[in-house]
Amino acid sequence: MDISDIATQDYVEVDAEERMGKVRALFEEENPKGVIVTRAGGAEYEGVITQKQLLSSHIEDDTRAVSLTNPEGHGAPKLQRTENVRDVARKLVEGGTKVAPVFEEGELWGIVTEDHILEAVLDNLDALTVEQIYTANVVTIDEDDNLGTVINRLREHGISRLPVVDDEGFLTGVVTTHDIVNFVTRDIQKTTRGDRRGEIERMLDLPVYDVMSSPVETISPDDTVESAVRKMLENDYAGLVVTPEDDDRVVGGILTKTDVLRALSYTEEEHMDIQITDIDLLDTLSREDIHEGIQEIVDKYSDMHVRHAHVRFHQHKEKLRGTPLIMCQIRLRTNKGQVAGTGEGYGGDNAFYQALDLLERNTLELKGVNADEEYRGQLLRKLGEL
């Protein structure tokens, strides 16, 4: 299946010279996955602005929209209408975006979003359970922490949602980038320019329970991915908190639409399947170097089979002699369960090796865990029919 039947020409568009204040208002009024930035009456494509970019930037309202497109050379992938759904799912994951422009004969035709893809393959997701693809060991936030702490934690880890827990560690809510962007945009529009700085400082001091969503929509590890995605699409959720079936107060992990897209792009190739988000943050290492580094660890444990690997880079604002601080997260899905390693360093190469060292230590701890059920073949057979 290609994306020609699921891409759409219905999208939110702004001129490259438009003020960012107007862009922020568009996100609140129309809740798009992203805003397409163009020039010359829509004839020239410039890039995409997402909610995540709005949250991570300090750009003033009078700044031009084009200044926020493709930061540091990264941006949404340019797609062709004839591209395969599975290939597009991979490109969205590796681009770290929920929306991408679609071109036909060199001209901007429309867009495709993660929701378009998930709706198209929904009936084929019953072969997969939540437990097989969700992200465990997630970052949480205390309900007494303030909004400033929430924003810093989202930026620090490069994530879009945080489960909120009470003093006993029980789940009480969830806060997302969408919640924060809407809250901040709404309150700023009520203030005058002279009052704005003080208003922003006041908002950053507010406790997270003033912004979080509660009660929380949860899903059990034993539920099918189809049922989870249906819940997300019907309620416009980007993700669900995974809780044990016998206690929905405990945070077991997170299942996001991105996790599902990642599963759609699994391959049947003999070599290890690796996805790399923001690979451009690497200095000298190549995709092949990343593969070899992970494979070297895997080869030490003959009874461990890696079904899929995801390597994600995230750039912080801090620099040392011009070199940015980079965070690298490596997550493997194996027949022994999930194993991950995270590291930080100045430069992408350094961050990767720091994460690789921790991955090896965590892999040692994983030895002896009972193998999960085989599942990838079931999913691939169904997807092969698309």
pLDDT digits (tens, 9 = 90+) for 282-313: 989 998 899 899 988 888 776 777 878 889 89
If asked whether residues 272 and 207 sit together in one domain, one would say: no
Which strands make up the sheet holding 218-219, listed edge to edge? Answer: 135-136, 253-256, 239-242, 218-219
Note the pLDDT of residue 256. 92
If asked whether residues 102 and 151 sit together in one domain, one would say: no
Give the end of a domain, one of 260, 280, 295. Answer: 260
Q: Kindly give the pairing relationship between strand 107-113 and strand 99-104.
A: antiparallel
List pLDDT tens digits, range 175-197. Answer: 988 888 777 666 555 544 545 55
Note the pLDDT of residue 372. 40
If asked whether residues 90 and 160 sit together in one domain, one would say: no
If asked whether residues 80 and 161 sit together in one domain, one would say: no
Number of domains in the chain: 3
User: 125-134, 259-268, 315-324, 376-385: which has the minimum mean pLDDT?
Assistant: 376-385
Q: Which of 105, 171, 133 is nearest to 258 (CA)?
A: 133
Percent of the chain with pLDDT over 70: 85
If asked whether residues 297 and 230 sit together in one domain, one would say: no
By the 8 A CB rule, do 171 and 219 touch?
A: no
List pLDDT tens digits, range 207-240. Answer: 898 888 888 889 999 999 999 999 999 998 889 9
Give the end of a domain, one of 96, 121, 146. Answer: 121
If asked whether residues 247 and 289 sit together in one domain, one would say: no
If asked whether residues 204 and 275 sit together in one domain, one would say: no
If asked whether residues 327 and 227 sit together in one domain, one would say: no
If asked whether residues 312 and 348 sit together in one domain, one would say: yes
Which pair of tokens denotes residue 320? Answer: 């040392």
Give the end of a domain, one of 216, 240, 260. Answer: 260
If asked whether residues 192 and 246 sit together in one domain, one would say: yes
Q: Which of 174, 140, 145 is nearest to 157 (CA)?
A: 140
Q: Is 47 helix (H, G, I), strand (E, B) or coil?
A: strand
If asked whether residues 140 and 253 sit together in one domain, one would say: yes
Q: What is the CATH number of the domain that holds 72?
A: 3.10.580.10
If asked whether residues 46 and 140 sit together in one domain, one would say: no
By the 8 A CB rule, do 93 and 87 touch?
A: no
Q: Which band of pLDDT confidence, cut at 50, 70 and 90, is reported for residue 93?
A: confident
By the 8 A CB rule, do 347 and 283 touch?
A: yes
Q: What is the CATH number of the domain that holds 370?
A: 3.30.160.100
By the 8 A CB rule, do 367 and 343 touch?
A: no
Phi, psi of 137 (to 5 degrees): 55, 55
Range of the domain at 346: 266-383
